[in-house]
Structure 1
């Protein structure tokens, strides 16, 4: 179960980091066509890789936490609902809307406001997932708190 948890978490973080960095690069250096292609790739196959990996990470994490207690487990459990809600309520709808607007060539104020919201939500999820990874490594003994 631990290997599945680590693998799913790695894939989820990799997806979000890739979407985030690719979005910034294509917005700065790309054309409208390249933005539309990226937005399409984020929705398919991106979300169909990301969503199951986050679900597997959360499910396996809760299964692993049943036999554990302590501060790090509590902190990870507190973060997971925010990560999930942020993904379901913000990141997925933003990705779908941005894909539709980019496909139509509608790069207006609404597009860039939603793009900013998506980048902010992605950054928040990366931070929260990073904190969960840190605490998971601490629980496994890979990271020790320095004095």
Structure 2
């Protein structure tokens, strides 16, 4: 059961962060103010699902890792801490401030700078969550282990 919860929560987190990133990029490229505001509002609402999914993935992952050790497990634990801190310190505050600025029509330098920071942090979390999924598949045996000559972390 814990494995199922972990897999679903991790997959949901990756899908949500990816959807937030993609919708932000498309809204910004459209240049339509209403679309940008709608996307920023949607991201705020989506946090109500993203935060618990990351918490569930982290909690269930810690539970599953109790009986396991090794490079892959240690890497997943380090990445999870970074993902959580990146989300709490960068992505969540940016989501609130960017929505507030967008809803006021303030697309000046502060908006642009925060948007850039949000996109970089989001891309980082997409990358890290993808690596977490890959390593989860390796631990479960659904994906072959990395070759010894590989330098992946």
Band of TM-score, shorter chain: over 0.9
Q: Which runs of 5+ in 1 are unaligned?
A: none
Match of 2:82 in 1: 82
- The answer on whether the counterparts of 2:11 and 2:133 sit within 8 Å (CA) in structure 1 is no
State the alpha-carbon separation in 1 of the partners of residues 53 and 112 from structure 2. Answer: 28
State the alpha-carbon separation in 2 of the partners of residues 131 and 96 from structure 1. Answer: 27
Q: Which runs of 5+ in 2 are unaligned?
A: 148-153
Report the number of matched residues: 146
1:95 CA drift (Å): 0.4
1:30 CA drift (Å): 4.0
Question: TM-score normalised to the size of structure 1?
Answer: 0.96
1:145 CA drift (Å): 3.4
- The answer on whether the counterparts of 2:20 and 2:43 sit within 8 Å (CA) in structure 1 is yes
State the alpha-carbon separation in 1 of the partners of residues 11 and 62 from structure 2. Answer: 17
Match of 2:101 in 1: 101
1:146 CA drift (Å): 5.8
1:8 CA drift (Å): 0.5
1:68 CA drift (Å): 1.1
**CA root-mean-square deviation:** 1.0
Question: TM-score normalised to the size of structure 2?
Answer: 0.93
Match of 1:12 in 2: 13
Match of 2:135 in 1: 135
